[in-house]
Chain A
Amino acid sequence: MADRMSGFTGRMLRINLTDGSVEREDTDLDATRKFLGGKGYAVNLLFRELKAGTDPLGEENKIVFMTGPLTGTRAPTGNRFCVCTKSPLTGTWLDAHCGGTWGPVLKWAGYDGLVVEGRSDRPRYIYIRNDDVELRDAEWIWGGDTFTVERFLKDKHSRDGDPKLLEIGPAGEGMALLANIISDVRAAGRGGAGAVMGSKNLKAIVVVGDSIRPEDLVHDPAEFRKAIRGAYKKVADDYRTSRRKGGGLVYKGTSNIIDGINEAGGWPTRNFQTGSFDRVLEVDGDAFSENLYSPRESPGTRPCWNCPITCAHVSVIKKGRWAGTVDEGPEYETIWAFGPQCDVSDREAIARADYLCDYYGLDTISVGNTIGFLMECFERGMITEEDTDGVELKFGNALGMVEAVEKAGVMSGDLGKLVGNGVQRASEQIGQGSSSFAMHTKGLEFPAYMPRAAQGLGLSYARSDRGACHLRPWTVGREMLGFDAMDPRTTEGKAQEVKDGTENIAVTWDSSGLCLLSSYAYGDDIVLPIIIAATGYTFANKDDFMLVGERINNLTRAFNVREGFSRKDDTLPDRCLKEPHDTNPCKGMVVKLDEMLDEYYALCGWDQDGIPKREKLIDLGLDLASEQIHGGAD
């Protein structure tokens, strides 16, 4: 343990499932100065420990559960942890992030993170109670859904304290490539991390942590209190996050943006064929708030730990075929995935599909994207009911959509396998030119924004380290919603926007332990003093801090380059590059990707094939990456 906390407890766990060993090791505090925690720390670790070509579902892959220096502190939204591994869905680097309470409790148990390696010969779960760490039998809960597993294991360990869990459902056990990891009914959702846990026969990680108080985690408590006060004030004042001002995030959750995105022609409908959903008023934030969400004050609504925004919502279906379903959500991305993407406006069907994804442990974005793709294939006659287990999978068929989710959850039948392994595999299997409208990059399904409606977003999807991701960076605020607005139709300035945004998010949010949603209220100018007070680290100025983000972005890039990824993979399907958009204000537009990539690579110090240059890597102190990509010194 570190003599004095620095946002980090100074301790990590390393658990080998093959031989059952549990090791405690020091957190590499030199690395935390260069990479901070979370994603940054994990990529530094996994770049060193994973060999190129590692089978993501093989025994040699590793999975890192990592907190940031602000996780478990009193910083607003300091509740995030990330799950990092080599993705079985994309073959790229993967970091998937999750809120709730698990991350803080891991920290209070005395650990910054844990590295899980090997493969158990039978189902196990990891039990952590402060210094006590052991592998336990999970045969009795193997096959269980996430809700039941969470309840059973909480009951079993309730006499030890207040146990918190992350777990996989049947989808992860079946190694569905769209399987996620669930914790407090939130998800480390994207990229198939649940399948990696399943491949290791690891059902859950239970943690009871009460050996460290949040106040004890930070380096300079007085400065820290002063720094976070400003952040709380920003949250209380911003029109989006303020309870007092009726903030959209507070009262509608992320679904508050639906109308704006739809009006900007950016809400993908019928598998990204068009950018506006004609029944938007049936599924927007108001519609869910007025018809399905429980009042936000109701006891069933569980915000993440120490979150002043409290975007979480619960839907209760009270009548009809799915009566009795209690769904935590659905939020923006999920409403899109099972709404306009499948041409469905039945709110209860959307909530039911969301519930089933949580129950089985599936990524809602990827599942909805894939079902929408299959609906288009069905309508074009590329697949028939023979391929879909008899389901007439046409756009608008809400019952068929829900059935497809059920089948994917247990990888049942042809349809379950088509959906559960994602859109890239489905299009490869179907062929017939369907790859031109299989909406993914590097195998990760597009989320809920239309790239043809915002040039910067197109670049963001194409170059993201884990495949098509809307958060690296979220150009949507500037390109569609009018915050510090940028013209969505032009490529001008977009390469710089994507570079700066990616690096900022990597360090300020994804490596600190803060929730990205708090970025609506405050930015790095507020977060940096909090991190300095928590860690005691010195950053000369903002640029010095952003250098950490640049380092992380280069190392995830190097990870992918080592796996064979390059410019050829930083691309978008033909629908984005060749089919003109049909919706204002970007009617007639395609994504002008090549010109933005040229500029983006140049700004990053990468060559025109997207490979980080030797001197860039050396400048950033990434000597090992330089050596592995470029060989020894000239």
Chain B
Amino acid sequence: MKVRVRAFGGLKKLLGHQFEVDLEGDSKVEDLLRLLGRRIDSPSKLLTPEGELAENLSVLLNGLSVNVGKKSREPLSEGDVVSLLPPAGGG
């Protein structure tokens, strides 16, 4: 299953802005983050040791915060877009 990752801020510099990741069929957002954390050799930037989202990370799944309805625990689907953003405020 292929999902598209779009990274911004500091993570863009570490991971690149936009790329595809091949995952097992029943993978969840947290599985993706674990994989990406290993890729940058800094898992704590994405997940806490308990498997929760890192405090300084905002994740959108197809444009919707994964905190809505605990979407980080739901299986990903082919073609999903996962956006990784630094915490943001202002406007």
* Contacting residues, chain A, for B87 (C-beta < 8 A): 239-240, 248
Q: A241-B89, A482-B66 are in contact. Are A263 and B17 (CB under 8 A)?
A: no
B53 CB to closest chain A CB (Å) equals 9
In this complex, the member of B10, B56, B68 whose beta carbon has the largest number of chain A beta carbons within 10 angstroms is B68
B90 in contact with A257 (CB, 8 Å): yes
Q: Bound complex: CA of A254 vs CA of B90, how far in Å? A: 5
Is B69 an interface position by the 8 A CB rule? yes
* Contacting residues, chain B, for A285 (C-beta < 8 A): 9
Interface residues on B, range: 20 to 34
Is B36 an interface position by the 8 A CB rule? no
B68 in contact with A332 (CB, 8 Å): no
Q: A239-B55, A284-B8, A482-B59 are in contact. Are A477 and B64 (CB under 8 A)?
A: no
A259 in contact with B64 (CB, 8 Å): no
Is A286 an interface position by the 8 A CB rule? yes
Q: Bound complex: CA of A485 vs CA of B63, how far in Å? A: 13
B68 in contact with A487 (CB, 8 Å): yes
Is B60 an interface position by the 8 A CB rule? yes
Chain B 78-91 interface mask (CB, 8 Å, partner A; 1/0): 00010101111111
* Contacting residues, chain B, for A259 (C-beta < 8 A): 8-9, 83, 85, 88
* Contacting residues, chain A, for B64 (C-beta < 8 A): 264, 487-488, 585
B83 in contact with A332 (CB, 8 Å): no
Q: A248-B9, A487-B68, A487-B69 are in contact. Are A482 and B60 (CB under 8 A)?
A: yes
A484 CB to closest chain B CB (Å) equals 8
* Contacting residues, chain B, for A254 (C-beta < 8 A): 90-91
Q: Bound complex: CA of A486 vs CA of B64, how far in Å? A: 10
Query: CB-nearest residue of chain A relative to B63?
Result: A585
Chain A contributes a number of interface residues (CB within 8 A of B) equal to 47
Within 8 A of B (CB), among A416-472: 448-449, 470
Is A621 an interface position by the 8 A CB rule? no
Q: A239-B56, A286-B9, A481-B88 are in contact. Are A263 and B68 (CB under 8 A)?
A: no
Cβ-defined partner of A584 (8 Å) among B17, B62, B90 = B62
Is A281 an interface position by the 8 A CB rule? yes
B67 in contact with A256 (CB, 8 Å): no
Q: Bound complex: CA of A484 vs CA of B65, how far in Å? A: 10
A137 CB to closest chain B CB (Å) equals 41
Q: A248-B86, A260-B58, A263-B83 are in contact. Are A474 and B91 (CB under 8 A)?
A: yes
Nearest 3 A/B pairs, CB to CB: A254-B90, A482-B65, A520-B89
- A contacts, CB < 8 Å to B: 239-241, 245-246, 248-249, 253-257, 259-261, 263-265, 281, 284-286, 311, 331-333, 448-449, 470, 474, 476-477, 480-488, 517, 520, 583-586
20 more contacts with CB within 8 A, not counting A257-B89, A470-B91, A586-B63, are A239-B55, A240-B87, A240-B88, A241-B89, A248-B88, A249-B90, A256-B89, A260-B60, A264-B64, A286-B12, A311-B90, A477-B89, A481-B89, A482-B65, A482-B67, A517-B89, A520-B89, A584-B62, A584-B81, A585-B63
